[in-house]
A = this chain, B = another copy of it.
Amino acid sequence: MFVAAAETGSFSAAGRVLGKGQSAVSLGISNLEVDLGFELFDRATRKPGLTKEGQRLLAFAKAALVQIEDFDAAAQGLFAGEETRIRIAMDDAILLPSLSAQLIEFGNKFSATEVEFLSAVSPEIPEIIASGNADIGLMFSGTQVQKGLEQAFIGNLPFVSVCSPGYPLADVQSIGASELLPFRQLLLRSPQGSALDQFPALSVNTWFATSFHTIRELVLQGIGWSYLPEHLVSDAIASGRVTRLNLRFEHSLWSPPVECVILKNTRIGPAQTWLLERVKNILQAAD
């Protein structure tokens, strides 16, 4: 009543908005004022205006209402069968800005649903999904189809070959495959040690890390060269902290396929359905 009256500037109007009579609002606010010990409205004129205390309290009242509306919205979602939690297992490299944008929208739309991220390297992800430790997996394709899982091709994630500006390869105009051999290449490898076959080792001297973010840091510090997801290094390329390699054999962007994995034969709720739908478009948008 307080908020409605403050916003409409009239007790009668507040009553109409709230579907109550005018006297209910008048009494309600009077009682509130008695409880508080001070007046919220200045009744000098016909349009009751807020006192300065009223103005200040209005912000708190509105904040409380917002929280209560959030509660209601979450309750409605849960009633509609929305999941209480969705766990996403994914390769760090796939968290691109267009996916983050979708996740923000998801959070607004499904406030009742918590999201949990499990960072993993692609080959581990099918097992994580199969064992029920996550609901949705986002990974680079490559490993054979696993039974019990439903795999869907999403799109291709563009990779670029990079090194730091100070690295010996930075200034070479046209690099052939054999010329790469002596230079240290940084490669992704799962903690269990299996290298990923969709990321080719082109150098003799290879170092490994279990996350593209680590590799990115190593490249920035001039440890070696690597293939990295373009979105992870686009800023660094623009600011000159990282340089693209001029590979002779690389005519277009190297873009390994990405797929989405879920459990076969599981009932999926509205939140997961929505998210899957959106996830399938993130790579189209990124192109």
Given the complex of chains A and B, what is the CA–CA distance between A38 and B36 in angstroms?
A: 35
- Decide: A70 near B74, CB < 8 A? Known: A38-B79, A53-B84, A79-B36: no
Note all chain B residues with C-beta closer than 8 A to A101: none
Give the contact stretch, choosing among A23-31, A61-69, A196-204. Answer: A61-69
Known: A36-B79, A63-B70; 17 extra A-B contacts, CB below 8 A, are A37-B79, A52-B84, A56-B74, A56-B78, A56-B112, A56-B114, A57-B71, A57-B75, A57-B112, A60-B75, A60-B111, A63-B67, A64-B64, A64-B67, A64-B68, A64-B70, A67-B67
Is the pair A71, B78 in contact by a Cβ cutoff of 8 Å? no
Within 8 A of B (CB), among A40-86: 52-53, 55-57, 60-61, 63-64, 66-68, 70-71, 74-75, 78-79, 84-85
A114 to B70, CA, bound (A): 26
* 23 A-B residue pairings within 8 Å (CB atoms): A36-B75, A36-B78, A37-B79, A38-B78, A52-B84, A52-B85, A55-B84, A56-B74, A56-B85, A56-B112, A57-B71, A57-B74, A57-B112, A60-B67, A60-B74, A60-B75, A60-B111, A63-B71, A64-B67, A64-B68, A64-B70, A66-B67, A67-B67
Is the pair A70, B60 in contact by a Cβ cutoff of 8 Å? yes
A114 to B52, CA, bound (A): 12
For the complex of A and B, the 5 pairs showing the least CB-CB separation, nearest first, are A64-B67, A60-B71, A37-B79, A53-B78, A67-B67
CA distance in complex: A11, B84 (Å) = 24
Contacts of A61 in B (CB 8 A): 71
Complex contacts, A71 vs chain B, CB 8 Å: 57, 60-61, 63-64
Question: Min CB distance, A210 to chain B, in Å?
Answer: 33
Complex CA distance for A78 and B53, rounded to whole angstroms: 6
Query: In the bound complex, how far is the Cα of B75 from the Cα of A63, in angstroms?
Result: 14
Which A residues from 143 to 163 make CB contacts under 8 A with B?
none
User: Which among A36, A55, A75, A84 has the highest number of chain B CB atoms within 10 Å?
Assistant: A75
